[in-house]
Amino acid sequence: MSDPKPTRSQGDLAEMLEMLLDKGVVINADIAVSVGDTELLGIQLRAAVASFETAAQYGLEFPTGTDMKRVETAAGVSSDASDANSETQPETEPARETTDEHSAVSSPSSREE
């Protein structure tokens, strides 16, 4: 009897790629190379792989220069791009508040002097 061998059609890779782009994939990886207690290399990887249509539906941020009207038309999403930009602005405001908190923490020490 001959040994059965695995078979793979040409469409498998294309179907898998289509599914990945349609559903989207998020990759989170933390890699550290250490010798003893000394960390020599640290890598933090955060990546999202999706089609533009899927990314637009989930509200992912696009690179500068992306034709957002074309993406919205392809995704069937209304003009939420301006809303997405307004959502990213409040994220920068807490960073300012953190800076203000640090200055507030340093203020009592200056008062003690």
- Global pTM? 0.43
In this structure, what token pair is assigned to residue 73?
Answer: 């038309």
CB contact at 8 A, 52 and 75:
yes
Q: Which residue has the higher pLDDT, 13 or 84?
A: 13
Domain limits of the chain?
A: 11-73
In the chain, the amino acid numbered 2 is S
Picking from 57, 60, 81, the residue whose alpha carbon sits closest to that of residue 69 is: 81
pLDDT above 70 as % of the chain: 64
